[in-house]
Amino acid sequence: MKADPKNVLTGSHYLDGNHASAEGGIAAGCKFFAGYPITPSTEIAERVSRRFPLIGGVFIQMEDELASMAAILGASWGGVKSMSCTSGPGFSLMMENFGLGIMLETPCVLINVQRGGPSTGLPTLPGQADMMQARWGSHGDYEVIALAPDSPQESFELTIHAFNLSEKYHMPVLVMTDECVGHMTERVVIPPAEEIELVERRYTDKEPGEAWPYEPTEGGVSPFLPVGKGYKFHVTGLTHDYRGYPVINAETQETNVRRLIDKVNNHVDEIIWLEEKDVEGAEIVVMAYGISSRVIQPAITKARKEGIKVGQIKMVTVWPFPEKRVRELAGQVKSLIMVEMNYGQVFLEMDRCAAGKCQTYLVGHAGGTVHNPDDIYKTIKEAVK
Amino acid sequence: MTTKVTEKRMQEREEHPMERLLRMDRIPHIWCPTCGIGTTVTALAVALKQLQLDLNNVAIVSGIGCTGRVAGYTKLDSFHTTHGRAIPFALGLHIARPDLKVIVFSGDGDLVSIGGNHLIHTARRNVDITVICVNNFIYAMTGGQVAPTTPITARSATSPYGNYEHPFNIPLLAASSGAVYVARWTALHVRRLTVAIKEALTKRGFSFVEVIAPCSTLYARLNKLGSGLDLMKFYHDNSVIRHGADPKEVNIDYQSKIAVGKFVDIEKPTYLDCLNNAYKKKFGDKYKPYGGGNGDK
């Protein structure tokens, strides 16, 4: 299905990442936005609140982030594409109902414009230290999908992609941007609506009385049951069987949790999106995501000019982690370097997957500013030894 | 052989009056004998039947706790959500599908303690949903801990020497936050409670019904108040019908008289009325009144 031209501001714009994220959501057909103001994400809510009235959407500023996340789940079950945005402390509050969204298998999109933490931290400065919270922030075992845009253009595109993934895999999908991308203003090209491909919700074709919300299917995702059509279905945050009925025992827990894990794990090859450059024959590969994937460029250019064989991987999806690719590379390269604005959250995964087959390096710091390219260059020099 | 006999019996027997609303495949329920939640669910079932509402267009949302299990037993599109968040979940569902009747059915701890912020803000916005709050003065599901509704001196698992905190007066909280309909009955006022639920369901805006219910296993036992049935009778017999009473004056003390009745019944534009009016005024004919999303297959 193509995007609705009414929602798409086709043309060339000069937008910051937050405004571009808002346009991405709107282009994807989002018609319900519930949020709570928090720096540095608020411009997303502000733009949505301006744009929605004339295109049939509802923006509501909720009493807190707990309510915002709960409301977008409710609206999504009502059949409306829904999203919210937040940052640091708000992300912590949303984790409760993010878990409910995972458990109820509810499509929606949550944008976290990361700032420095912990706690109130650095409200106006960038960080990438919520990456492990994105992965494990809500209690229990589950898989997540998290995307990391590196620019306003990607903020637009990846928000649409996040909606598509959420509708495909029936789960909340995270867009993990940061203050730098959110407040960076660049050219954003919004294509014509007919060039924007959207995944629409797949509803059951069974009759009421014959359909259950979590029937086992080959891909692990059951068709959605619509509200108000006589299906009279039940869904619960408790461990449940295919009928959506709570069943409190280890066996059902195993089936339920495996379902949440497998529907992502069995499709990692489709979900994982990496952009590789000069990796073939490289001695050193620098991995980064979001804004950090741009900051590594001067260091790599400098090192390559000196004849160092250094390649790069931009992780457009951070979760699920590209485990297979990193294991493969670890057997081929001398060193893997992770560059991120934290003290080694995604690095831990890279290091685990390298499994001692190559050297691993972290270029990390506590956030508040992007990296100094010299620090990355120095690590490349160190790694090539 | 046994199976055949059972099937025959099933076919021959009359439909249970509650069968229309209950998921019979989930019965028996978890509630204790003489718990007040049962009669409250019956009152909802009868109210829905008498209103002749198409049950396809009714959805129910619960939070967590004993009363939070109601969504799981009702044969409606039903959502068992997180602790305290039934109201904002219901708000999202209502905005997506304003054509549906959305009911929140939960307990005092869920709605007034952990969900208190959502209760007051959703009442303030006058979102067109109905909230049924079963108040048993205690956290029952977790084993009888003190609640923001526990009367002073009442004992609980975490107020073993008697509660000393001022409790909430729930009708006052709902009314002062903006609810357009506020009523309170006890779980034994089944007929009057049914009428109140019918009125709440037909009211446009945020309607709120508090139900004073005995917790037989914990509140009654910890406070040596006899059986659940004794407590149910006590609440009923000690209630005083005071329609139109000032919500400020309906607070409940330990084993005191309980003011019941319809305290608030006023008209006020709903959240979606206000949204549509404001945008219509601003944008004129360019604005198409919001009517909800497409829940169509």
Residue A313: the pLDDT is 98
pLDDT for the residue numbered B16 = 79
Closest Cα in chain A, distance from residue B278 (Å) = 10
Residue-wise burial string across B142-168, b where 16 or more C-beta atoms lie within 10 A, e elsewhere: eebbbbbbbbeebbbeebeeebeeebb
Residue positions counted in chain A: 385
Per-residue pLDDT, averaged over B150-175, amounts to: 98
Interface test with A, best of B78, B85, B272 (most A CBs within 10 A): B85
What confidence tens digit (pLDDT) does each residue in B36-60 have?
Answer: 999 999 999 999 999 999 999 999 9
- Give B63's contacts in chain A (Cβ within 8 Å): none
For the segment B231-242, the average pLDDT, to the nearest whole number, is 97
Interchain pair B93, A58: CB under 8 A: no
| Chain A touched by B297 (CB under 8 Å) | yes
> Which of B95, B106, B177, B288 would best serve as a mutation to test chain A binding (most A beta carbons within 10 A)?
B95
Averaged pLDDT for residues A226-248? 98
Q: Say whether B95 and A32 touch across the interface (CB within 8 A).
A: yes
List phi, psi (to 5°) of A197.
-90, 130
Look at B118 and A245 and tell me if their CB atoms are within 8 Å.
Answer: no
> Is B56 within 8 Å of A71 when comparing Cβ atoms?
no
> Which of the 8 DSSP states describes residue A240?
B
Chain B environment of A79 (Cβ under 8 Å): 96-97, 293-296
Chain A contact for B103, CB < 8 A?
Answer: no
ipTM of the complex: 0.98
pLDDT, mean of residues A17-23 = 98
What pLDDT, on the 0 to 100 scale, is given for residue B10?
62
Asked if A96's CB is within 8 angstroms of B295's CB, the reply is: no
Any idea what the Cα angle at residue B4 is, between residues B1 and B10, rounded to 5°? 145
Whether the predicted pLDDT of B97 surpasses 60: yes
- Search chain A and give the residue with CA nearest B271: A60
Q: Which of B77, B85, B121 sits opposite A227 (nearest CB)?
A: B77
What integer pLDDT is reported at residue B3 of this predicted model?
60
Q: Is some CB atom of chain A closer than 8 A to the CB atom of B98?
A: no
Which one is predicted more confidently, B13 or B132? B132
Mutate to test the interface with B, among A60, A225, A238 (most CBs of B within 10 A): A60
Contact A228 B94 (CB under 8 A): no
Tell me the pLDDT band of A145, cut-offs 50, 70 and 90.
very high
Provide, as residue numbers in chain B, all residues whose Cβ is less than 8 Å from the Cβ of A80: 95-96, 293-294
Tell me if B183 sits within 8 A of B196, measured CB to CB: yes
Please judge whether B96 and A75 are an interchain contact, meaning their C-beta atoms are less than 8 angstroms apart.
Answer: yes
CA-nearest residue of chain B to A234?
B78
Burial of A56 (0-12, 13-18, 19+ CB in 10 A): middle
Tell me how far apart the alpha carbons of residues B184 and A373 are, in angstroms, rounded to a whole number: 67
Which pLDDT does position B5 carry in this prediction?
A: 64
* Confidence at residue B17, expressed as pLDDT on a 0 to 100 scale: 77
CB atoms A97 and B82 under 8 Å: yes
Contact flag B89-A235 (C-beta cutoff 8 Å) = no
Whether residues A234 and B80 touch (CB distance < 8 A) is answered with yes
List all residues of chain B from 111 to 130 with a beta carbon under 8 Å from chain A. Answer: 117-118, 120-121
| B297·A229 Cβ contact <8 A | yes
- CA nearest to A223 within chain B: B297
Question: How much is the mean pLDDT over chain B?
Answer: 94
Of A102, A108, A104, the closest CA to residue A233 belongs to: A104
- Predicted local confidence at residue B296, as pLDDT: 43
The minimum CA-CA distance between B19 and chain A, rounded to whole Å, is 14
Q: B90–A58: do the CB atoms touch at under 8 Å? A: no
Between chains, do A227 and B59 touch, taking CB under 8 Å as contact? Answer: yes
B56–A54 CB contact, under 8 Å: no
Three-state DSSP string of chain B: CHHHHHHHHHHHCCCCCCCCCECHHHCCCCCCCCCCHHHHHHHHHHHHHHCCCCHHHEEEEECCCCHHHHHHHECCEEEECCCCCHHHHHHHHHHHCCCCEEEEEEEHHHHHHHCHHHHHHHHHHCCCCEEEEEECCEECCCCCEECCCCCCCCCECCECCCCCCCCCCHHHHHHHHCCCEEEEEECCCHHHHHHHHHHHHHCCCCEEEEEECCCHHHHHHHCCCCCHHHHHHHHHHCEEECCCCCHHHCCCCCCCCEEEEEEEECCCCCHHHHHHHHHHHHHHHHCCCCCCCCCCC
Q: Does B77 touch chain A (CB under 8 A)?
A: yes
Query: Hey, where are the domains in chain B?
Result: 18-286
Which member of A97, A104, A228 has the closest CB to residue B56? A228
Cβ-contact A2, A193 below 8 angstroms: yes
pLDDT at residue B295 tops 50: no
A59 has pLDDT over 50: yes
Contact B146, B158 (CB under 8 A): yes
Percent of chain B with pLDDT over 70: 94
Give dist(CA A110, CA A237) in Å, integer: 19
pLDDT of A294 > 70? The answer is yes
Rounded mean pLDDT, B97-121? 98
* Residues of chain B numbered 224-283 and touching chain A (CB < 8 Å): 275, 279, 282-283
- Assess whether pLDDT exceeds 70 at residue B294: no
Assess whether pLDDT exceeds 50 at residue B133.
Answer: yes
| Architecture of the CATH domain B18-286 | 3-Layer(aba) Sandwich (3.40)
| pLDDT mean across residues, chain A | 98
Q: CB of B160 within 8 Å of any CB in chain A? A: no
Radius of gyration of chain A (CA): 21
B288 interfacial to chain A (CB closer than 8 Å): yes
The string of pLDDT tens digits covering residues A349-366 is: 999 999 999 999 999 999
Size of chain B in residues: 297
**Nearest chain B alpha carbon to A227:** B77
Candidates A58, A64, A245; nearest CB to B95: A58
Note whether B89 contacts A71, CB cutoff 8 Å.
Answer: yes
Taking CB atoms and an 8 Å limit, are A56 and B85 in contact across chains?
A: no
pLDDT tens-digit map of B63-72: 999 999 999 9
Taken in order of first residue, the domains within chain A and their CATH numbers are 5-195 (3.40.50.970), 276-384 (3.40.50.920)
* CB pair distance less than 8 Å for A228 and B96: no
* pLDDT, average across residues A20-40: 98
Find which of A6, A80, A206, A239 to mutate to test the B interface (most B CBs within 10 Å of its CB).
Answer: A80
Q: Which two three-digit tokens encode residue A136?
A: 């494990």
Query: Is the bond leading into A118 cis (omega within 30 degrees of zero)?
Result: yes
Select from A66, A226, A234 the Cβ nearest to the Cβ of B295.
Answer: A226
Chosen for mutation from A69, A83, A234 (greatest number of chain B CBs closer than 10 Å) is: A234
